[in-house]
Amino acid sequence: MMEESGLEEDKITEQIQEQTEEQVHEPVQELVEETPKEPVIVQIGGKNYEIVQNHKEGWNPEVFRDRYSEVLERYDYIIGDWGYSQLRLKGFYRDNHPKATKDSTISSMVDYINEYCNFGCAYFVLHKSKDQPQSKAKSGS
């Protein structure tokens, strides 16, 4: 009888190990990203921007258009963050931009989000596209 209970324990132990291995591998498979989505291009103020990050579905085109100001055109990136149902926009330069200070470069974006935005807020990041819309040629007539 002792041998039978020892065999049953071994079988149970094997089953537990198999279940544990399956559970450990499941989250890894969930983290694998699907094929990248097509870039989303936004045109505003005669400039094209690409949505490079949309954290917690922070992107809202209607509210963005209402809040957008021409002052933001000088920046390479625009960060939009949500707090108290209000969208706040802030511009950042690329890291090697001649007018950039340490706090105004895109590499300081994480610090900005951690220090000035509501904890866990939804936000998005737009990057000014190199491909800008063609300006319409004026006719001479």
> For residue range 30-59, what is the model confidence (pLDDT) as tens digits?
444 444 477 889 999 889 999 999 999 999
Length reported for the chain: 141
- pLDDT top residue among 9 and 104: 104
- pLDDT top residue among 2 and 125: 125
pLDDT at 34: 43
Q: Which amino acid is at 43?
A: Q
What percentage of the chain carries pLDDT values higher than 90?
60
Fill in the DSSP letter of residue 35.
Answer: S
Q: How confident is the model at residue 6 (pLDDT cuts 50, 70, 90)?
A: low
Using the structure block, give the residue that is written with the tokens 């511009």: 91
pLDDT at 134: 61
Q: Within 10 A of 138 (CB to CB), how many other CB atoms are there?
A: 6
> Residue 32 corresponds to which tokens in the numbers above?
């694998």
Phi-psi region of 110 (alpha: psi -120 to 50; beta: other; left: phi over 0): alpha
> For residue range 62-109, what is the model confidence (pLDDT) as tens digits?
999 999 999 999 999 999 999 999 999 999 999 999 999 999 999 999
Please tell me the pTM assigned to this model.
0.68
pLDDT at 13: 63
Q: Within 10 A of 112 (CB to CB), how many other CB atoms are there?
A: 17
Q: How does 80-95 read in b/e, with b if 16+ C-beta sit within 10 Å?
A: bbbeeeebbbbbbbee
